[in-house]
Amino acid sequence: MHIPKDTLLWMYERMQSIRTFENRVKVEFGRGKIPGFVHLYAGEEAVAVGICAHLSDADYITSTHRGHGHCIAKGVDVRGMMAELFGKATGTCKGKGGSMHIADMEKGMLGANGIVGGGPPLACGAGLTAKLKQTGQVTVCFFGDGAAEQGTLHESLNLAAIWKLPVIFVAENNGYAESTPVHYHCSVENIADRAAAYNMPGVTVDGNDIFAVYEAAGAAVARARAGQGPTLLECKTYRLYGHYEGDQQTYKVAAEQQKFQHERDPILLFRRTLLAGTLVSEAELKAIDERVVAEIDAAVRFAEDSPFPDVQETYTDVYVNY
């Protein structure tokens, strides 16, 4: 598989951007700067980035409660995102959505979603629009292993299959639905095995290997764009942190976490592979790392310096007359 150098560097930068963003959110949440609760995407970067590498702004994605990574991979501005997390007026959604509802229509980002399994029907709708208008757009529906057990997903897989919708269903299997292991909550070894029931291709890949994700996603996206219908792509990955910030993670096996951090971390693996070749130099990656840190620093400053929304904003963007 040949991947152009600029794509490789773009993917590396987006992965680092997600990791750096999430690590910084962890810090800012600890400082009490972020209201509510947050679900961090760290550890799963290869999935969002390897898939969104095949998409343009015109393509759509639906996301999950763990949506920061999807936003960054789809090109949503990190300054607006950080401001949204801080609840500021300059946030992506004017401070009215927060971590679980970041959306950016101009980037084809149809929203993080606080409801597990909330996204798949919406993805079918976006796919239906593209199909009826014959735009050639595809929609990627990200969902976690927890959502694999929701009826909405199964209904949507069937609907997308019978209507041949240009939708790619991406199972981000990070091993845990909140604290419940996938080997308990899921009836099959691989979530993608269920694709057979819906008469669509089912593919399971190592979700920590950006090359494997990129290759599988390329085939699924090409199939969708060609009007051949949906694919169920499962990416097996790992959640570096807890379900939410503050989760003590007593359900995790220490060796598993250690192994991931030292051997399976997708950024570590990608960096190692890149530097093993001659195409990319360490200096280039270091420059990216520094640029990303500067961007996230700037995003935090922007969020901190931004005003909170005026209370009158409560009454906009909805019909209210009572």
- Site of interaction with another protein (CB under 8 A): 60, 62, 91-97, 101, 103-105, 110-111, 113-115, 117-118, 120-130, 132-133, 151-152, 155-156, 158-159, 162-163, 316-322
129 vs 273, beta carbon nearer another protein:
129
**Nearest distance, CB of residue 178 and another protein, angstroms:** 18
19 vs 65, beta carbon nearer another protein:
65
24 vs 94, beta carbon nearer another protein:
94
Query: Which residue do the tokens 């949503």 mark?
Result: 76
**Nearest distance, CB of residue 74 and another protein, angstroms:** 14
**Three-class secondary structure assignment of the chain:** CCCCHHHHHHHHHHHHHHHHHHHHHHHHHHCCCCCCCCCCCCCCHHHHHHHHCCCCCCCEEECCCCCHHHHHHCCCCHHHHHHHHHCCCCCCCCCCCCHHHCCEHHHCECCCCCCCCCHHHHHHHHHHHHHHHCCCCCEEEEEECHHHHCHHHHHHHHHHHHCCCCEEEEEEECCEECCEEHHHHCCCCCHHHHHHHHCCCEEEEECCCHHHHHHHHHHHHHHHHCCCCCEEEEEECCCCCCCCCCCCCCCCCHHHHHHHHHHHCHHHHHHHHHHHCCCCCHHHHHHHHHHHHHHHHHHHHHHHHCCCCCHHHHHCCCCCCC
61 vs 217, beta carbon nearer another protein:
61
**Count of other CB atoms within 10 angstroms of residue 191:** 28
**Nearest distance, CB of residue 89 and another protein, angstroms:** 10
**Nearest distance, CB of residue 185 and another protein, angstroms:** 19
**Nearest distance, CB of residue 128 and another protein, angstroms:** 5
Cα–Cα distance measured from residue 125 to residue 6, given in angstroms and rounded to the nearest whole number: 33
155 vs 206, beta carbon nearer another protein:
155
**Nearest distance, CB of residue 70 and another protein, angstroms:** 15
**Nearest distance, CB of residue 105 and another protein, angstroms:** 5
**Nearest distance, CB of residue 1 and another protein, angstroms:** 31
80 vs 266, beta carbon nearer another protein:
80
43 vs 166, beta carbon nearer another protein:
166
**Count of other CB atoms within 10 angstroms of residue 276:** 9
156 vs 204, beta carbon nearer another protein:
156
Query: Which residue do the tokens 């997308």 mark?
Result: 160
